[in-house]
Amino acid sequence: DAGITQSPRHKVTETGTPVTLRCHQTENHRYMYWYRQDPGHGLRLIHYSYGVKDTDKGEVSDGYSVSRSKTEDFLLTLESATSSQTSVYFCAISSLAGGTDTQYFGPGTRLTVL
């Protein structure tokens, strides 16, 4: 299994509070991704990173920001959480080494915004 951890694994917060989720990898992979999973929508890409300090928006980036100051950590921040951001958040990594485009996923963070 790819070495990916996410913290916290569960979080309950209130509307309007800031929240930061952390993804940590031990694989030294260049690419990291944040997805959210909601019933009836599958997984949707929020933001991704293609290197330290290099990030870009995905399909559902509104209300989210990210940062990557070192290879192993990718942070997702909800500046002011809303109930519509209640979801399960997954981090993924890939290396593209040898041309492979496979992504490997972390265990997820269940976020509830009251």
Shortest spacing between CB 91 and another protein, in angstroms: 9
Are residues 21 and 76 in contact, defined by beta-carbon separation less than 8 angstroms?
A: yes
Residue partners of 40: CB distance under 8 A and separation at least 6 = none
Are residues 17 and 80 in contact, defined by beta-carbon separation less than 8 angstroms?
A: yes
Judged by beta carbon, residue 16 or residue 107, the one nearer another protein is 107
Shortest spacing between CB 108 and another protein, in angstroms: 5
Q: Is the peptide bond before 8 cis (omega within 30 degrees of 0)?
A: yes
Given the structure tokens 């694989």, which residue do they identify?
27
Shortest spacing between CB 16 and another protein, in angstroms: 29
Judged by beta carbon, residue 54 or residue 79, the one nearer another protein is 54
For binding to another protein (CB under 8 A), which residues are involved? 31, 33, 40-45, 48, 50-51, 54, 56, 58, 90, 92, 94, 96, 101-108
